[in-house]
Amino acid sequence: MHTMWKGSISFGLVNIPIKLFAATEDKDVKLRQLHKKCHTPIQYEKRCPNCEEEVSNEEIVKGVEYVKGKFVILTQEEIKELKDEHEDKTVKIIDFVSLEDIDPIYYNRSYYIGPGENGQKAYALLREALKTSGKIGIAEITMRSKQQLSIVRVYNDCIVMETIHYPDEVRNVKEIPGVPETVEIDEKELNTAIMLIDQLTTTFNPEKYEDDYRIALLKKIEAKVNQNEGKTPEETPRQNVVDLMSALQASIERAKENGAKESVYITRETAPPIKKKTKTVRKKA
């Protein structure tokens, strides 16, 4: 498994060297956009609509639109300086709370934490302390130049870090239109609903659930491959471009070399393309 981050966990005076690994992976089937005519993948250019020209990476700067149509430009030096100021290879645990205190709406992405060099004993100590206390750690970490809030907990004897949203990143539920506040519910209907929930209640088994669409899509792709329905981008024949002056000049030079009195007939079919060897058709006078 690829190590994506190295650093340490700190709480109080304790410092534990760690490695971070992605706990989840995106298994969506990537569908490429192809040109229907020749099945070639479509390219996307970096193009300025104002100047109507393609832009290279060297001509691109970064900025933030603070009002419609107005931008603040940040130089690479300014961005690097800010990164250096906030770059810290430490998962800083600042509080311990109960897992039930955090609503799942705050959760973002999960990472497995493995011990770093000579960190096995301290790692095991933190793991057992978290399991025995039943608490989780609230921590801060900087990843990819972004400071993130996270929780540190135990999952199947492995310490796990889950990044969570800051409170101002979670939208106010009161902004959702049409949500009923107080509605009188019939007691019989409520009891029926609760009975249905009880009948469908079970122990969570993650192996029970599958992405039916992805499985069906992969089977369809495999079937098409087995039936030799794969497509290779087709080369589109290029139309010969006639460089009339080059063809005439080449014909005259060749006629001089041969010392023959010849008339030269050049047609669209016989004229050579640009930068290719000249082909001519001669007819004796």
CATH number of the CATH domain containing 134: 2.40.290.10
125/253 same-domain check = no
146/258 same-domain check = no
**Has residue 143 been placed in a domain?**
yes
**Has residue 137 been placed in a domain?**
yes
Helix (H) or strand (E) holding 223: helix 212-226
121/12 same-domain check = yes
248/124 same-domain check = no
* Domain closes at, from 149, 169, 189: 169
Range with top average pLDDT, 30-34, 112-116, 223-227: 112-116
Q: How many CA atoms lie within 13 A of 165 on its CB side?
A: 11
Counting the structural domains of the chain, the total is: 2
Closest by Cα among 141, 166, 101, 102 to 10: 141
- Look up residue 117 and give its two tokens: 């060099």
**Has residue 238 been placed in a domain?**
no
- DSSP letter at 103 equals -
Q: What is the mean pLDDT of the segment spanning 212-241?
A: 75
Evaluate whether 130 touches 41 at the Cβ level (below 8 Å): no
What pLDDT, in 10s, does the model give residues 55-74? 988 899 899 888 888 888 88
**Has residue 135 been placed in a domain?**
yes
Evaluate whether 278 touches 264 at the Cβ level (below 8 Å): no
23/109 same-domain check = yes
- Look up residue 86 and give its two tokens: 């906030």
15/111 same-domain check = yes
Evaluate whether 111 touches 22 at the Cβ level (below 8 Å): yes
Instruction: Pick the range with the lowest mean pLDDT from 138-147, 151-160, 161-170.
Output: 138-147
Per-residue pLDDT band at 13 (split at 50, 70, 90): confident
Averaged pLDDT score across all residues of the chain: 82
Q: Buried b / exposed e across 188-204, counting CB within 10 Å, b at 16+?
A: eeeeeeeeeeeeeeeee
- Look up residue 70 and give its two tokens: 């107005």
Residue 255's contacts (CB-CB under 8 Å, 6 or more residues apart) are 261, 262, 264, 282
The domain of 277 spans 244-284
* Neighbouring-strand partners of residue 239: none
**Has residue 35 been placed in a domain?**
no
Give the residue, 204 or 247, on which the prediction is more confident: 204
15/101 same-domain check = yes
Say whether pLDDT at 201 is over 70: yes
What pLDDT, in 10s, does the model give residues 78-128? 877 777 666 678 888 999 999 999 999 999 999 999 999 888 999 999 999
* Domain closes at, from 146, 169, 192: 169
Say whether pLDDT at 14 is over 90: no
* Domain closes at, from 118, 143, 169: 169
267/145 same-domain check = no
Q: Is 252 helix (H, G, I), strand (E, B) or coil?
A: helix
Residue 139's contacts (CB-CB under 8 Å, 6 or more residues apart) are 9, 91, 92, 93, 94, 149, 150, 151, 152, 161
149/278 same-domain check = no
> How many other C-beta atoms can be found within 10 angstroms of the C-beta atom of residue 123?
19
**Has residue 57 been placed in a domain?**
no
Which residue's structure tokens are 């973002």? 108
Q: How many CA atoms lie within 13 A of 181 on its CB side?
A: 1
Evaluate whether 213 touches 219 at the Cβ level (below 8 Å): no
**Has residue 227 been placed in a domain?**
no
**Has residue 182 been placed in a domain?**
no
